Structure 1
Amino acid sequence: MIALGCIFGILMAVMWALAMFTDTWLGRFFRKQAQWLGSKNSIALGEPSIALFFFAGSIVLALTGNLPDSQLSKPLSALMLALIFIPMIGVILSFFNFDLPKQMYPEWHEKQRALKASRVDHSTESGTDVQRSDAQ
């Protein structure tokens, strides 16, 4: 169960990274999938929160599963449970459409990649990156 939680958390983090930072067919697929949910914050807030939830949950199970019932384990267990439920706040908030900083949206990263690609295309077409001055 612990390994399954870690694997699922890592897979969700990979899905988020592909949707945010790549233009591969998987990245486009995950962006389309998130649009189907109808919330603009599903990739920006929901996917990383779900990944953190599963990853933190599996770590909590690993650390507190074998602890003896002592006075030290109770505060530690409470702290670990907080690590599980804090990402759930992010998951719940991801269903509401409110504005986040523009850098948190995959569309912004997509525009930045397109701008960078167009700058690279212009410099290779001219053959040089050096700016010329017309002054004599």
Structure 2
Amino acid sequence: MMRLKRLGVMACLLCSPLSVMADAQREIPLCCQGDNRVFLAFGEREGIQQVMQVFMRKLMADERMRPFFQDSDRAKLVEHLTDQLCVVMGGGCQYQGRTMAESHQGQVIKREHFNALVAHLQSAMDERQIPTQAQHKVLAVLAPMYRQLETQ
């Protein structure tokens, strides 16, 4: 039983992007399907939204990151990011936004930008007191997304 539990955690940590939307046109990475513990650890959708609000504040305070977001509707972006993470965590949300490629078309996103974004996300999760294990599960799913951006 314990071995199966460990295998489930490992599978979650190593999961790769899967198409999870009924829309089938939007690909969002998914982790821990059928296990809502990460979603609950974040405080469900409301908690995810609070993390995303802190995250956006941190991005806008960073001179390297501000240019990517300064012309966007940040409230709408927070909603989209909230829905995306809710889907990643298996929270039952629906994401109606654009794909990663559509959202970042024409932008030059370097590894340093992606690393800064991840650092701000970690900082936002820490500020909202998200348990480290839940953070790691989400970050393990999001990390491969850089490959979707660097090929543009």
TM-score by length of 2: 0.27
Name the one with the larger helix percent.
1
TM-score by length of 1: 0.29
